[in-house]
Structures are given as C-alpha cells and as structure tokens.
Structure 1
C-alpha cells in the first residue's frame, strides 16, 4: 500500500490513525480574501486573524462583522451591527405557520429544508 492510497494505518493502541495524503500538496483549490488554510501548518486564518485566537476572544457577531467588513468592529460598530442583525431575525408569517405544522420530532435538516422551500415560494 502506498501513502496516497492507504487511508489509515493501525496505530499501536489498536485504533486507526489517519495518514496525511500528499497527493495534492501545493495544489491551490481556490482563492479567497476571507481565509487562508494551512499557510504555516495546520492553521486557519480569517482576514489575517488566527481562528483559535478569535474563537476564544470574540463573539459570533464580531467574527461575522470581520468577515463582512474586513476588520474587527469597535464597540459602537458592534452594538450597531447587533441591532441590525436582531432586526433581520423575524420570520415571515407564512414560514412561521408552516414550521408550526412540522412535528417536534422531525429531524432538524428536514425542518430547515421545508423552511427554505417555503421561503422560495
């Protein structure tokens, strides 16, 4: 078995340990200004910020603001952004009515698919 065809090899503990494939090393999958992946190893950066740093130090809305506006918000910008997002959270009446008919035991992906279908009508 070669490194590129073997998905995993048994570890000494008996569990499988994934092998890193080198078949596509150095191949660009796409270009984006939003993030970089693996630039210095196994890392992920959003707009130049290490995801591990901002995930522990920032709120969801701060990271969303960063992705949209290319910079972290000031406290005033964050407050305004949260207010804007809150105003956009409302559900159309027809969507709310349709969702209320779905059983509580339905799988969340089924609920989402149905909701998106209703929004498209």
Structure 2
C-alpha cells in the first residue's frame, strides 16, 4: 500500500455524541426523536446513526423495509410487546417487523438501518 498520506479535513467528521447538535427526525409528519448522522450519502435516519429519545417518548409505529440493528448506549427502551432493552443490549429486528418503542428515562442508541 505504500506510505499513507494524511486524511484531508473535508474527508473526516468527528463529533462527541454527548455534546453534538442532533437533528429532529420526522416520521409521517411527526417529530420522532432526534438523529446524529455524520454521513450525507444516505437519507436521514438510515445507514449508521445515533438516535436519541427523551424521557417518556414513544416512537411512531412503523414497519421496517430492511433489517434493523441497534445498540443501547445508555438509558432504557421498551417495545410495544413489553420487551425491555438496556445499556449494552444489541438488538436485531427482521425486515417487515412492525413495532413502536417507549423510553421511560430517555435513551441513546446506535442504529444501522439500510436505506
């Protein structure tokens, strides 16, 4: 590969997930949490991103058009069927799964969702 050159500033983005500015995520015309997504090659809320829910927030019921994977960084999340997730949990939901989630105390989640 030879000697690597430095990475140009326009080719790298770095933010701290605790202090970064999040963008409201709109689902079916309703604000549905907020998103931190550095890459701009995929629609907001798809690909790799951080999703934040405030205490007491419930997501809009939705059906995924692709598999969804998420990792709970902090906080708690409860799916509509009563399944509870907490820090350290890695979750996979099959394409076509319909669900809504509630966060009693707020949460920060790493998400991967194909566009």
Of structures 1 and 2, the larger Rg is shown by 1
Larger helix fraction of residues: 1
* Greater length-normalized contact order (CA 8 Å, ≥ 6 residues apart): 2
Tell me the TM-score normalised to structure 1 length: 0.20
Tell me the TM-score normalised to structure 2 length: 0.21
Larger strand fraction of residues: 2
